[in-house]
Chains A and B, each alone.
Chain A
Amino acid sequence: MGHYRLDRLPRTRRWKQVIALLDAGEPVEELAQAAFRAAQTGLSRVPQDPGFTHTLTVIFSFVDALQSKDPLADLRKNGFDVGDGSSLFDFVGGFRMRAEDAAVAARARSDIAELARDSFAQVLMKSAGSSLQTLFGVESADARRALQSNLKGKPLGSTMHEFFATFTQRYLNYYLGRELPYHVGQGMSFSSVDKHSEFNQAFDLYVRQTVRIADEFTPGWFGKARWEERLTHKDVSGFAHVAFKKIGSEFQRGTEVSG
């Protein structure tokens, strides 16, 4: 094993409430709602994080290039290091490297940018993996087609919904993950290591089911922005702001339903 730095939760009232709920063994829904309330202020600031908007801009640039008539040439023109024989891993790796370079160039590297990069890569692997029989040994053209099919029209809406849901899940886990290992063992919230894993799965599922952004929202916005040639950081930040507002409303609705 290498070295790891393990951090702790902020000592705010809301995170203390989350810890109390965790101690009490409250159901996963209650914890997710409480974690969302505790993380809400930070989440609302995400669209202003320069690292996040740079990553989102790279995402749309990736989507845009893949929709063009000559996707490989357009990807390369936009700084994605891919070639004729690129595998699915090369495409996703190319996106990750381009997103990192963009954040470095703007001196905007941040944990938020990294969470966004990880979230989109996760969604790409998942969506392409569902289209393909296997992740390994896939022809380059098939890998590209699998990516393209999920990044245009209605599927783009689903992909971006998945992106925001995954980002929200990763953001909440970025915090909650610091506390959960302290609650494993006899008489604790999770009696065993496996129970901790099971909780993670249930938590992720709940968050993803709660975050619902209308599938038409992204394709509509993206089509319009692309048409009007205004995929600027400011526009992208505005788009993200609306998306996170919708996520907040969904969690609020979740609170009302469970309450």
Chain B
Amino acid sequence: MDDPVDMWCGPDDLPRQFSRRRTICLNSVPSSNNVHVKIENIATKLAQNLPPIVLDLIEVASYIYAGDQCVVRGGKTLPKDGQDWKREFRYYLPVRCLQIWQDEDVKAALVSTLRFLSDDYFEFDFRQARKTAKIEDYFDFDQGKPWFDADQVMLFSGGLDSLAGLAETVKTGSGKIVLVSHRPAPQTDSLQRSLLEDFAQLTDSKKRLLHVPVWINKDADLTRDTHQRTRSFLYASLGVALAHVHNLNQAFFFENGITSSNLAISPSVLGARASRTTHPRTLKGFSLLFSKLFDRAFSVENPYFWKTKADVIRTILDCGARELIRHTSSCSRVRTSDPLGRHCGVCSQCVGRRLAILANSAEGDDPEEHYRIRLPLDPIPKDSERAMVELIVKSAREFGKTTPGDLYGNHPEAIDILSSLTVKADRSAGMLFELHQRHGQQVCGALGQIVASSEQLIARGDVPANSLLSMILGQSPEETPAPDERPKIVLPEGTRWKDITIEVVGNDAAKILVSDESYAASASEMGFWDKRKKLPNRIWDLLVDFAEAGGVLHISSSERSREWRPKDFQRLRAGLKTFLQLEDDPLHPYDPGTGYKTRFNVLYDRTVKS
């Protein structure tokens, strides 16, 4: 962790005691602002109800959201054991209600909630605001808008979970709903707007819905970091602000419990490197903070915590909103998505979405052409994207098979969730276990369907390399000879590699000598055959190299990857073990001094003609 970063906020000039070089100045008050706030679709009458503390909250949350992106976190190799991931901010903020913000309980709730959300340290120094923004600076009033008497405020992202929450609320109730959306980018705006229009038309609910889009962004040249771990604080603050002016005591996030819990998918993903956007502890922290700020009981709730993503899709289908699935957006790369506006297909959100769709057999409602990379058959060329897909699928498969001891042993962070839930820990622990187990089983079911529907492709040996299907199956056609090609070599019991001699006797033929027996085997029978070229593959060539060299390939560390790739040795090992059904390793461990050495004897018949 480096020195604290000073964040000077508001329109006031930077005081002399601050270093210009080490201080970041943020200002949301026009006209010299670099943080931009615009809340649309609000009736003039509603704005008259806006207490100053609500405006303070919107500004504070906007500054924190903007500041979050102004300071870089540590490099990708986590130098200093990840210390640079955690940053330290000192915010200097002008507020209208100084006494409230200076309350120690308010500050403590703010600091601890943001710390959990972002992993960063925060300090706050509030001062009385002198020059403040006018209400119309932040609100685009719709003069013709009638007073909307809301019964509920919910946050609407335009994804599957918020659509399900909306559909279920509209279907099961009769109240009016304010839908608050944060629009960081124009692409999100049009998606949310058209989705809501379609929904209103489908359910004849236009009069019951008020969409309040909020634009909050900052000058592009301020961006140094894109993780945006504090975004949900801004989002919740906007929801709460709208709830407050409607005299309501709750705001709702709809997010499935797997995403809310967001248990680590890899042992290196610690703390908020797995985002905690709607983690129960985060929402509990928001509720505490907002209750203290407004001096009345206030809560931020997630009614979908006990649902999986597949359960959420089931809810949409049950509510009759199936046709809207295709209009929702889950992709986390909205800004960088391709010109056709497709989902990337490989970010964690896209993978979770696609598997949940498959688990519900709802592929018809989520067309493949909406994805740039279509799981499970498209190759995933980029290593980092393949790694992400692999980890998500792996962790889900493990959840499907897990025991309670394994879940809470391997993921102790799950224990931290329990104390923030309304159910007693002993009971909620069982429910949380069942939730993750169900999610795992739903994903496994989806993967089973993928394999079943790809039967012919698999039989033909046409599984695309680097696809999700290939990572599930674990075989490539080149590596796996058909069963009828396998030789029937039965080795005497107790045979070790040292008892075996392999003699290369032809361009694609070898003799296997064990005890007094000799077996002929072709490169194809041994599994070292390239089906496409109809020739021995490079693993056979490696075996021949070993044979010519008498069983030792003197390859130094520096040159080892030039002629033969390390994975070639691995494939040779795997191929020989499979061919002769021996568990032991046919090669000695690589030694930088010796190189690679076989445990079996290997000979080369010098009469072989190339």
Q: Which residues does A use to contact B, with CB under 8 Å?
A: 1-11, 17, 20-27, 30, 42, 49, 81, 87-90, 92-93, 96-97, 104, 107, 109-112, 114-115, 117-118, 121-122, 125-126, 129, 134-138, 170, 173-178, 181-182, 184-197, 258
Q: How many residues does chain B have at the interface if contact means C-beta atoms less than 8 Å apart?
A: 90
Residues of A within 8 A of B387 (CB): 6, 181-182, 184
> What sequence of 0s and 1s flags, for each residue 305-343 of chain B, a beta carbon within 8 Å of any chain A beta carbon?
000010000000000000000000000100000000000
6 A-B pairs in the complex with CB atoms less than 8 angstroms apart = A2-B262, A17-B557, A20-B560, A24-B566, A118-B412, A189-B567
Contacts of B590 in A (CB 8 A): 20-21, 24, 26, 30
A2 to B85, CA, bound (A): 18
A1 to B267, CA, bound (A): 17
Q: Which residues of A have CB within 8 Å of B478?
A: 186
Contact with A along B48-90 (1 / 0, CB 8 A): 0000000000000000000000000000111101110110000
Which residue of chain A has its CB nearest to the CB of B464? A186
Closest 10 CB pairs between A and B?
A: A192-B474, A25-B570, A23-B566, A2-B262, A121-B412, A87-B426, A1-B348, A173-B267, A181-B387, A1-B352
Point out which of A81, A125, A173 has the most chain B C-beta atoms below 10 A from its C-beta: A125
B570 and A197 within 8 A (CB):
no
Report B245 CB to chain A, min CB distance, Å.
Answer: 30
B397 and A3 form a contact (CB under 8 A): no
CB pair B569 A125 closer than 8 Å: no
Check if A114 sits within 8 Å of B332, measured CB to CB. Answer: no
With a 10 A CB-CB cut-off, give which of A24, A90, A104, A173 has the most chain B CB atoms: A24
Question: Given the interface contacts A93-B416, A118-B413, A187-B571, does A2 sit within 8 Å of B557 by beta carbon?
Answer: no
B473 in contact with A175 (CB, 8 Å): no
Partner of B227, one of A5, A9, A81, A129: A5
CA distance A16 to B211 in the complex (A): 53
Q: Which of B82, B348, B352, B573 contacts A25 (CB 8 A)?
A: B573
Closest to B264 in A: A4
By a CB distance below 8 angstroms, the chain A residues around B264 are 4
Task: Verify if B398 is at the interface (C-beta below 8 Å from A).
Answer: yes
Binding site for A on B (CB under 8 A): 76-79, 81-83, 85-86, 115, 119, 121, 227, 258-260, 262, 264-271, 273-277, 309, 332, 348-349, 351-352, 383-384, 386-388, 390-394, 397-398, 404-405, 408-410, 412-413, 415-416, 418-419, 424-427, 429-430, 465-466, 470-476, 478-479, 557, 560-561, 565-567, 569-571, 573-574, 585, 589-590
When C-beta atoms are compared, the residue in chain A nearest to B79 turns out to be A10
Instruction: Using A104-B115, A118-B413, A191-B474 as known contacts, say yes or no to A1 and B349 having CB atoms under 8 A apart.
Output: yes
- Chain B residues near A194: list those with CB within 8 A: 397, 474
With A and B bound together, what is the CA distance between A103 and B21 in angstroms?
31
The answer on a CB contact under 8 Å between A197 and B397 is yes
Chain A residue numbers with a CB within 8 Å of B273 are 4-5, 7
